[in-house]
């Protein structure tokens, strides 16, 4: 076995095929890791299609740069354990919206430097921009099904894009 194989820098054909398939699937589903703007050098990604914690994990894996994750916690007793290692290695800060944001804070309290609760998506964006630096990424990846006032993740994703547009015009 050579050095490249040992340290994992050599990509296999299977890795390349998987990456191509992931990109293809993402292209077919709106609001799935969709770039939606750049504010003050910070990249904004709309991942409203991430309607489960498992989908958030799949999304976080895609990033090399520091991520400020915007989450929604609208149900009790969500198992965040599959995110713990990813949070530690990929996430710079979490901004949580929702009635049970405290549950996420409790689950991540020893793994994360910054955690903020927000009352609205607009407030979540503002706090995320404060917590991020140039070349960071803000990932809007709720990790749950859309709830009122949104009928589905597509409406939620479209709303998020409108917030970005309005904020960018300030």
Express each pLDDT in 142-166 by its tens digit: 999 988 889 999 999 999 999 999 9
The string of pLDDT tens digits covering residues 48-91 is 999 999 999 999 999 999 999 999 988 888 888 888 889 989 99
The string of pLDDT tens digits covering residues 108-138 is 877 777 999 999 999 999 999 999 999 999 9
Backbone angles phi, psi at 157, to 5 degrees: -65, -40
User: Can you name the residues that pair with 56 across neighbouring β-strands?
Assistant: none
Evaluate the CA torsion angle 149, 153, 156, 158 in order and state its sign. Answer: negative
Has residue 53 been placed in a domain? yes
Residue range(s) defining the domain that contains residue 159: 30-168
Has residue 133 been placed in a domain? yes
Separation of alpha carbons 139 and 47, rounded Å: 7
Check residue 110 and give its pLDDT.
73
The stretches of the chain forming alpha helices (DSSP H) are 3-7, 13-28, 53-60, 84-90, 101-108, 121-131, 153-168
Taking residue 28's Cβ as centre, other Cβ atoms within 10 Å add up to: 8
Assign residue 164 the CATH number of its domain. Answer: 3.90.190.20
Check residue 77 and give its pLDDT.
80
Q: How many angstroms separate the Cα of 11 from the Cα of each of 2, 41, 88?
A: 13, 30, 24
Has residue 144 been placed in a domain? yes
Has residue 23 been placed in a domain? no
Confidence of residue 103 (pLDDT cuts 50, 70, 90): confident
95 has a pLDDT exceeding 60 = yes
Which tokens belong to 153?
């993740």
Strand order of the sheet with strand 91-97?
Answer: 34-39, 42-46, 137-140, 67-72, 91-97, 114-118
Return all residues near 160 (Cβ < 8 A) that are at least 6 apart: 31, 36, 46, 48, 121, 140
21 has a pLDDT exceeding 60 = no
147 DSSP assignment:
-
Has residue 35 been placed in a domain? yes
Backbone angles phi, psi at 139, to 5 degrees: -110, 110
Total domains in the chain come to 1
Separation of alpha carbons 64 and 147, rounded Å: 30
Has residue 111 been placed in a domain? yes
Has residue 6 been placed in a domain? no
Tell me the pTM.
Answer: 0.81
């Amino acid at each position: 076995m050579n050095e490249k194989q040992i340290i994992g820098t050599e990509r296999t054909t299977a890795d390349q095929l998987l990456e191509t398939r992931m990109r293809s699937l993402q292209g077919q589903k709106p609001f799935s890791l969709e770039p939606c703007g750049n504010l003050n050098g910070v990249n904004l990604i709309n991942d409203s299609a991430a309607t489960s914690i498992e989908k958030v994990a799949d999304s976080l894996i895609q990033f090399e740069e520091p991520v400020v994750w915007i989450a929604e916690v609208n149900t009790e007793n969500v198992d965040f354990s599959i995110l713990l290692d990813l949070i530690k290695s990929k996430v710079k800060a979490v901004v949580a919206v929702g009635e049970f944001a405290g549950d996420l804070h409790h689950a991540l309290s020893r793994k994360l430097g910054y955690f903020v609760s927000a009352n609205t998506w607009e407030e979540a964006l503002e706090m995320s921009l404060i917590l991020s630096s140039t070349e960071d990424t803000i990932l809007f990846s709720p990790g749950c099904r859309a709830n009122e006032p949104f009928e589905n993740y597509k409406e939620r994703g479209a709303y998020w894009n409108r917030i970005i547009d309005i904020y960018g015009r300030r």
